């Protein structure tokens, strides 16, 4: 018994040592968590503690030059579902059914909502229904406390009051896609829309503002303990944008186009403001905001007149005879002809063994330049082309904006084609031939232009060489977007000749589009064009060219018309293209004339611009008087 206590003592101290080692380990672990890994755990604690609910920024409004709203935000009552908050996913359908009863959602939309929620990503909020009536919203607000994960919300939704007339210009917004959400995670909020087309797309960064968030402290059960104000998280409203467009004239142009497939562009020749930029047929861009139905989209996409296509800036057409005034200038500038030099038109011309026909089968006889423009004599311009060659034509065409890209602030502006011999070799790998020169001289063959380019060309002629660069954006947040331009080095004398020719077209006997404008003392000058879409074979020419009326729609000629006015003091220029409209004077000219007439009567260039009151202030949630 005597040695037991000693051994006991030894072992007790040994065990105490083991215990001390264990405590040291515990302290080491404490140090690891609390000192060395403290930073990471603090972050994790914060992500436990705080929750951020996104507050979409108010998207910037878009106005016409006089303040008519083109894209606005409408108050929208909606109800959202945060599936994360619902512990038992099997309850979701039941909750949706109850919500549908409360807000009187029809079967169809309910199924759509169910589908949407099924397909929604984790940790996302999905819209059950939007555009609720005030009554439905009140009811769901009252009952939502009974449903976990159901959140009534009062927000804004985009709306386009002018719809079709502006669909191509304004474009539309749609829900953010995965890539955009990756860039700005806040964009996952179901009410946030991203610009997809038109101004909404090009000015997305300016219009969207900065989305904010409500920071709140939550407990482990997801209940909000308190809300925290963080000035960095206050949403900033997007900038307001004023366009150069005059909504009234745009409407006139849109109405003039009617059901035809075509485009009308109206410019202010003195500063390049785009007053109207209509494409037809159009579509209702409001349908895209909440996602267009597949059937509606298919109908638009498969329509042979391509309503989704912004023809005014994207459509490239043969210019036809509308190019002749510019060709006349090119010839005068290159010195191959004098204005009073006469060329005889027997109805055709033979160059390098090929016969090129004039529209007048029996010929125009002897013509000077003014008359050649007025009567649109092809033979006269074949001869000009032959004399000056492609390089002179291309040089002048570039000065008038053809074959060039014009950044007017809209996506998808086409460049058209006006190739030099080098360009042809580079693009088509083919040598330049004499018939290329001849065709180019009358705006056929390799030449394609957009309605916008056509308007720029006529505008630069009308303004005696002001090389205006049009832009559709007048001001952003009230700050005017200046667009300086230079003057073209073109002789005034030569310009006057062309002006006289174009005056003849619309005012003198023998002109191709003579008509009275109907405004006392005001005349316009113009030029028609008929662009051939199909090849006319030798046999057809022998037996008589078929009339447009006898042809299928898509084989008929394009009808073009350019004009400017008033003749004495040019202010506005207009280009009109009616696809497959037949003869230029019949389809395009009357429409273009109506548009420029409206412009001259209203004279928007003399009226003051709309300046939006500066909304740059942090208009967070502009609840106004309608608040709850």
Catalytic (active-site) positions: 321
Binding mask 224-243 for another protein (x = CB under 8 A): -x------------------
CB of 83 to another protein, least distance (A): 15
**CB closer to another protein out of 225 and 299:** 225
Residues shown for the chain: 628
Which of 93, 182, 205, 219 touches another protein (CB under 8 A)? 219
CA dihedral 234, 236, 237, 242 (to 10 degrees): 170
Residue 24 burial (10 A CB sphere; 0-12, 13-18, 19+): exposed
What span, in angstroms and rounded, lies between the C-alpha atoms of 19 and 543? 115
**CB closer to another protein out of 42 and 74:** 42
**CB closer to another protein out of 90 and 492:** 90
**CB closer to another protein out of 29 and 298:** 29
Nearest to 402 by CA among 463, 452, 472, 444: 452
Which of 15, 479, 536, 607 touches another protein (CB under 8 A)? 15
CB of 225 to another protein, least distance (A): 7
Measured on CA atoms in the order 327, 330, 335, 339, is the torsion positive or negative? Answer: positive
CA dihedral 349, 351, 355, 357 (to 10 degrees): -40
The span of 28-36, 159-167, 240-248, 283-291 binding another protein (CB under 8 A) equals 28-36
**CB closer to another protein out of 23 and 553:** 23
What interhelical angle do 247-257 and 584-602 show, nearest 10?
Answer: 160
If one asks whether residue 45 binds another protein (CB under 8 A), the answer comes out as yes
**CB closer to another protein out of 123 and 613:** 123
The span of 31-39, 120-128, 183-191, 195-203 binding another protein (CB under 8 A) equals 31-39
CB of 2 to another protein, least distance (A): 10
DSSP assignment of 499-521, as one string? HHHHHHHHHSTT-TT----SSTT
The span of 23-31, 135-143, 434-442, 469-477 binding another protein (CB under 8 A) equals 23-31
If one asks whether residue 44 binds another protein (CB under 8 A), the answer comes out as yes
**CB closer to another protein out of 179 and 223:** 223
What span, in angstroms and rounded, lies between the C-alpha atoms of 433 and 411? 35
**CB closer to another protein out of 83 and 576:** 83
CB of 51 to another protein, least distance (A): 11
Q: Cα dist. 576→317, 366, 417, 452, 599 in Å? A: 12, 30, 19, 9, 14
If one asks whether residue 617 binds another protein (CB under 8 A), the answer comes out as no
What span, in angstroms and rounded, lies between the C-alpha atoms of 79 and 86? 15
Half-sphere exposure of 70 (CA within 13 A, CB side): 29
If one asks whether residue 35 binds another protein (CB under 8 A), the answer comes out as yes
If one asks whether residue 49 binds another protein (CB under 8 A), the answer comes out as yes
What span, in angstroms and rounded, lies between the C-alpha atoms of 392 and 407? 25
Q: Are 81 and 149 in contact (CB under 8 A)?
A: yes
Q: How many CB atoms lie within 10 A of CB 186?
A: 18
If one asks whether residue 27 binds another protein (CB under 8 A), the answer comes out as yes
The span of 12-20, 265-273, 401-409, 532-540 binding another protein (CB under 8 A) equals 12-20
If one asks whether residue 221 binds another protein (CB under 8 A), the answer comes out as yes
Nearest to 400 by CA among 589, 267, 504: 267
Q: Are 447 and 319 in contact (CB under 8 A)?
A: yes
CB of 21 to another protein, least distance (A): 10
CB of 86 to another protein, least distance (A): 14
102: CB partners within 8 A, 6+ apart:
136, 139, 140, 143
If one asks whether residue 121 binds another protein (CB under 8 A), the answer comes out as no
Q: How many CB atoms lie within 10 A of CB 169?
A: 31
**CB closer to another protein out of 124 and 481:** 124
The span of 38-46, 263-271, 446-454, 547-555 binding another protein (CB under 8 A) equals 38-46
CB of 122 to another protein, least distance (A): 13
Nearest to 247 by CA among 477, 65, 470: 65
If one asks whether residue 30 binds another protein (CB under 8 A), the answer comes out as yes
If one asks whether residue 22 binds another protein (CB under 8 A), the answer comes out as yes
What span, in angstroms and rounded, lies between the C-alpha atoms of 537 and 348? 16
**CB closer to another protein out of 44 and 405:** 44
CB of 7 to another protein, least distance (A): 5
Which of 1, 294, 509, 549 touches another protein (CB under 8 A)? 1
Q: Where are the beta strands (DSSP E) in 89-176?
A: 125-129, 150-159, 173-175
Q: Are 193 and 208 in contact (CB under 8 A)?
A: no
Q: Are 131 and 77 in contact (CB under 8 A)?
A: yes
The span of 44-52, 332-340, 444-452, 542-550 binding another protein (CB under 8 A) equals 44-52
The span of 43-51, 194-202, 604-612, 619-627 binding another protein (CB under 8 A) equals 43-51
**How many residues bind another protein, per CB under 8 A?**
39
What span, in angstroms and rounded, lies between the C-alpha atoms of 628 and 625? 9
What span, in angstroms and rounded, lies between the C-alpha atoms of 381 and 326? 11
CB of 124 to another protein, least distance (A): 18
If one asks whether residue 31 binds another protein (CB under 8 A), the answer comes out as yes
The span of 36-44, 108-116, 554-562, 618-626 binding another protein (CB under 8 A) equals 36-44
CB of 610 to another protein, least distance (A): 51
What span, in angstroms and rounded, lies between the C-alpha atoms of 225 and 39? 24
Which of 12, 299, 607, 628 touches another protein (CB under 8 A)? 12
Provide the 8-state DSSP code for 448. B
**CB closer to another protein out of 14 and 536:** 14
What span, in angstroms and rounded, lies between the C-alpha atoms of 68 and 242? 9
**CB closer to another protein out of 23 and 134:** 23
Which of 89, 90, 119, 220 touches another protein (CB under 8 A)? 220
Nearest to 450 by CA among 491, 417, 475, 474: 417
Contacting another protein within 159-218 (CB under 8 A): 217-218
Q: Quick one: tokens of 106?
A: 């029809």
Half-sphere exposure of 125 (CA within 13 A, CB side): 25
Residues contributing to the site for another protein (CB under 8 A): 1, 4-5, 7-9, 11-13, 15-16, 19-20, 22-23, 25-27, 29-31, 33-35, 37-38, 40-42, 44-45, 48-49, 217-221, 225
């Amino acid at each position: 018994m005597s040695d037991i206590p000693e051994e006991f003592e030894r072992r007790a101290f040994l065990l105490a040592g083991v215990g001390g080692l264990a405590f040291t380990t515990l302290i080491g672990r404490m140090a690891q968590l609390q000192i060395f890994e403290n930073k990471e755990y603090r972050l994790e604690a914060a992500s436990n503690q705080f929750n951020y609910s996104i507050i979409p920024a108010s998207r910037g409004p878009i106005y016409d030059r006089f303040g008519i709203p083109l894209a606005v935000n409408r108050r929208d009552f909606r109800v959202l579902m945060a599936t994360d908050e619902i512990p038992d996913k099997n309850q979701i359908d039941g909750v949706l059914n109850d919500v549908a009863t409360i807000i009187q959602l029809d079967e169809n939309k309910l199924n759509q909502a169910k589908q949407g929620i099924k397909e929604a990503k984790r940790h996302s909020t999905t819209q059950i229904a939007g555009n609720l009536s005030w009554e439905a919203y009140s009811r769901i607000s009252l009952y939502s406390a009974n449903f976990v994960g159901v959140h009534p919300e009062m927000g804004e939704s985009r709306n386009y009051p002018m719809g079709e007339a502006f669909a191509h210009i304004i474009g539309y917004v749609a829900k953010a896609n995965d890539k955009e959400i990756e860039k700005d995670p806040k964009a996952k909020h179901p009410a946030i829309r991203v610009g997809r087309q038109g101004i909404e797309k090009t000015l997305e960064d300016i219009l969207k503002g900065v989305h904010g968030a409500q920071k709140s402290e939550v407990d482990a059960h997801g209940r909000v303990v308190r809300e925290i104000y963080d000035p960095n998280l206050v949403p900033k409203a997007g900038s307001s944008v004023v366009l150069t467009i005059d909504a009234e004239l745009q409407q006139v142009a849109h109405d003039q186009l009617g059901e035809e497939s075509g485009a009308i562009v109206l410019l202010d020749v003195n500063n390049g403001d785009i007053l109207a930029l209509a494409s037809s047929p159009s579509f209702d861009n409001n349908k895209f905001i909440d996602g267009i139905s597949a059937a509606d989209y298919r109908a638009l996409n498969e329509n042979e007149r391509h309503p989704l296509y912004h023809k005014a800036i994207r459509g490239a057409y043969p210019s036809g005879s509308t190019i002749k005034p510019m060709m006349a200038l090119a010839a005068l500038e290159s010195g191959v002809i004098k204005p009073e030099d006469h060329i005889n038109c027997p109805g055709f011309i033979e160059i390098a063994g090929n016969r090129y026909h004039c529209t007048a089968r029996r010929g125009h006889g002897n013509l000077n330049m003014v008359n050649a423009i007025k009567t649109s004599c092809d033979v006269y311009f074949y001869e000009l082309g032959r004399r000056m060659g492609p390089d002179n034509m291309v040089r002048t065409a570039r000065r008038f904006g053809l074959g060039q890209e014009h950044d007017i602030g809209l996506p998808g502006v086409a460049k058209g084609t006006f190739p030099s011999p080098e360009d042809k070799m580079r693009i088509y790998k083919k040598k330049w031939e004499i018939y290329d020169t001849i065709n180019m001289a009358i705006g056929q063959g390799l030449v394609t232009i957009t309605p916008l380019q056509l308007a720029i060309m006529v505008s630069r002629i009308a303004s005696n060489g002001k090389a205006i660069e049009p832009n559709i954006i007048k001001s952003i947040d009230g700050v005017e977007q200046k667009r300086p331009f230079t003057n073209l080095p073109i002789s005034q004398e030569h310009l006057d000749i062309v002006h006289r020719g174009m005056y003849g077209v619309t005012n003198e006997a023998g002109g191709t589009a003579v008509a009275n404008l109907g405004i006392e003392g005001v005349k316009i000058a113009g030029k028609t064009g008929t662009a051939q879409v199909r090849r006319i074979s030798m046999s057809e020419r022998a037996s008589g060219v078929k009339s447009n009326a006898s042809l299928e729609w898509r084989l008929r000629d394009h009808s073009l018309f350019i004009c400017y006015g008033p003749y004495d003091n040019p202010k506005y220029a207009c280009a009109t293209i009616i696809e497959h409209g037949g003869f230029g004077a019949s389809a395009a000219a009357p429409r273009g004339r109506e548009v420029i007439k409206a412009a001259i009567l209203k004279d928007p260039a003399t009226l003051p611009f709309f300046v939006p009151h500066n909304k740059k202030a942090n208009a967070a949630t502009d609840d106004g008087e309608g608040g709850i």
